[in-house]
């Protein structure tokens, strides 16, 4: 019964494995895009499931003990807490580890280069505009892909008496 609690590999190796895999995954997802979890396509979901299965073996190694699994989970949770805390306190690290907002529409003009770089289709952009109550891109002062994957839309001011929409 004691063998289910005792890891089959050294605790230091278990900790090192969890740290390396966590840092690798953090870097990999940092540089692969800014989609929100709710915006994941079926392809993204399959990719996440496969990656989680692949890196599981890298974290646990030949160890299937309950203690080893719990130790790996605790290390990842503690490391995640530390990364969140450090990025909260350090602007330099936050800039390095977190994605930066990207301007997608400026004064009614779509910035196609930025859409392409962020892998956002025109259909996705138009859907975000509609969700924000804007029917036409000409009525958008700015649309920004935020660091969390959401698209913020700032509409142009409504036309006053004697003005036409878009004349500003």
Number of independent structural domains in the chain: 2
User: Is pLDDT above 90 for 48?
Assistant: no
Q: Provide the CATH number for the domain around residue 111.
A: 3.30.240.20
**Hey, which residues does 155 pair with through a beta bridge?**
140
* Confidence at residue 167, expressed as pLDDT on a 0 to 100 scale: 45
**Looking at the predicted structure, is the pLDDT value of residue 119 above 60?**
yes
**Residue 37: what pLDDT?**
54
Contact 48, 37 (CB under 8 A): no
**142 and 131 Cβ atoms separated by less than 8 Å:** no
Average pLDDT over all residues of the chain: 82
- For residue 93, the enclosing domain spans 2-97
> Residue 35: its pLDDT value, please?
60
Q: Which of 111, 104, 112 is nearest to 132 (CA)?
A: 104
- pLDDT of 148 > 90? The answer is no
Q: Which of the listed ranges 32-36, 65-69, 116-120, 142-146 does the model predict with the highest average pLDDT?
A: 142-146
Kindly state whether residues 7 and 90 are assigned to the same domain.
yes
State residue 25's pLDDT score: 84
Handedness of CA 131, 137, 140, 145 (dihedral sign): positive
pLDDT band at 33 (very low <50, low <70, confident <90, very high): low
Q: Are residues 65 and 121 in the same domain?
A: no
Domain boundary among 57, 73, 97: 97
* Strands 140-145 and 151-155, bridge-based pairing: antiparallel
Q: What's this model's pTM, rounded to 2 decimal places? A: 0.62
pLDDT at 162: 47
The length of the chain, given as a count of residues: 168
Mean pLDDT of 41-61: 79
From 20-24, 43-47, 83-87, the region with the lowest mean pLDDT = 43-47
Percent of the chain with pLDDT over 70: 86
Same domain, yes or no: 54 and 106: no
Nearest to 71 by CA among 13, 133, 31, 1: 13
Lowest mean pLDDT among 14-23, 31-40, 65-74: 31-40
């Amino acid at each position: 019964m004691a063998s289910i609690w005792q890891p089959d590999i050294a605790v230091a190796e278990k900790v090192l494995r969890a740290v390396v895999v966590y840092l690798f995954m953090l870097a990999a997802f940092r540089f692969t895009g800014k989609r929100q979890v709710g915006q994941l396509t079926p392809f993204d979901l399959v990719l996440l499931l496969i990656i989680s299965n692949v890196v599981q073996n890298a974290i646990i190694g030949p160890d299937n003990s309950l203690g080893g699994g719990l130790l790996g989970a605790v290390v990842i949770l503690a490391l995640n807490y530390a990364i969140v805390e450090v990025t909260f306190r350090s602007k330099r690290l936050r800039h390095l580890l977190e994605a930066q907002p990207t301007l997608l529409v400026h004064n009614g003009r779509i910035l196609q280069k930025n859409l392409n770089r962020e892998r956002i289709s025109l259909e996705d952009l138009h859907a975000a505009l509609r969700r924000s109550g804007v029917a036409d891109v000409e009525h958008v002062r700015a649309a920004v892909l935020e660091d969390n994957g959401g698209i913020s839309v700032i509409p142009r001011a409504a036309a006053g008496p004697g003005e036409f929409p878009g004349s500003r």
